[in-house]
Chains A and B, each alone.
Chain A
Amino acid sequence: EVQLAQSGGGLVQPGGSLRLSCAASGFTFSSNWMHWVRQAPGKGLVWLSGIYNDGSSTMYADSARGRFTISRDNAKNTVYLQMNSLRVEDTAIYYCARDFLGYFSHWGQGILVTVSS
């Protein structure tokens, strides 16, 4: 069974940093792109970033580029999202997702990030 277990969320002050983790199991992690998607309270879904199987290629939405960094450790079956210079508007539930045939086939449970003073 595919599982994506997320951790690392919480409350952070504006300008602060946070690193989200997503530990995968139940599939060959190193064979899949992985992605991060977020959802602000009561709002829709926004794709943030994706990373190729071996980490050699990364893609970012404009809202993430320059402040967020996606990475992965295939030995640990884990993908990360490092978020710096956080803003109040980054408050959201953050999801990691497995890419299968180019689509988000499996999702983590989501983790809440709250940016507030």
Chain B
Amino acid sequence: EIVLTQSPATLSLSPGERATLSCRASQSVGSQLAWFQQKPGQPPRLLIYEASNRATGIPARFSGSGSGTDFTLTISTLDPEDFAVYYCQQRANWPWTFGQGTKVEFK
């Protein structure tokens, strides 16, 4: 199965700062990668699909890039509501797999 490795595990930042999250795949997934945000007690929310497409209703401060094995989620200016856990997920090969998550916390 394809293993997705996210880094860093934790990102300590302040509101207004830029967040850069990484996801590396153990083999190429093309552009078949998504990013999710999850807050405590809530289901995940789709942010980005097909590596760089924002899902419906997602603010423009969220952007995704990359292809093949290296992907990045960027939050241009952190809003207080953006502090959460972020997961990448690939759908290139069964079984579909998730990364282990990156927690964006208040510095």
Are B49 and A47 neighbours in the complex by a CB distance under 8 Å?
no
Q: Which residues, 22 to 74 on A, are CB-close (under 8 Å) to B?
A: 44-47, 50, 59-62
Are A102 and B95 neighbours in the complex by a CB distance under 8 Å?
no
Q: Which residues, 67 to 115 on A, are CB-close (under 8 Å) to B?
A: 95, 101-110
B32 contacts chain A at the CB level, 8 A cutoff: yes
Q: Which residues, 1 to 40 on B, are CB-close (under 8 Å) to A?
A: 32, 34, 36, 38
Q: How many A residues have CB within 8 A of the partner chain?
A: 20
Nearest residue (CB) in A for B56 is A105
Are A47 and B96 neighbours in the complex by a CB distance under 8 Å?
yes
With A59-B94, A104-B89, A105-B55 in contact, do A45 and B49 touch (Cβ < 8 Å)?
no
B44 contacts chain A at the CB level, 8 A cutoff: yes
Q: Which residues, 51 to 106 on B, are CB-close (under 8 Å) to A?
A: 55, 87, 89, 91, 94-101
In the bound assembly, the distance between CA atoms of A47 and B98 in angstroms comes to: 8
Chain A contacts for B44, CB-based, 8 A: 45, 95, 104, 107
Which of A103, A106, A108, A110 has the most chain B CB within a 10 Å cutoff? A103
In the bound assembly, the distance between CA atoms of A106 and B99 in angstroms comes to: 19
Are A104 and B46 neighbours in the complex by a CB distance under 8 Å?
yes
Measured CB to CB, the closest approach of chain A to B49, in angstroms, equals: 4
Residue positions of A touching B, CB distance < 8 A = 44-47, 50, 59-62, 95, 101-110
What are 15 A-to-B residue pairs whose CB atoms are below 8 Å?
A44-B87, A44-B101, A45-B38, A59-B94, A59-B95, A102-B32, A103-B34, A103-B46, A103-B49, A103-B91, A104-B34, A104-B36, A104-B44, A108-B43, A110-B43
Known pairs A50-B96, A60-B95, A103-B49; list 15 more (Cβ under 8 Å): A44-B99, A44-B100, A45-B89, A47-B95, A47-B97, A47-B98, A59-B95, A62-B95, A95-B44, A102-B49, A103-B46, A105-B46, A105-B49, A107-B45, A108-B43
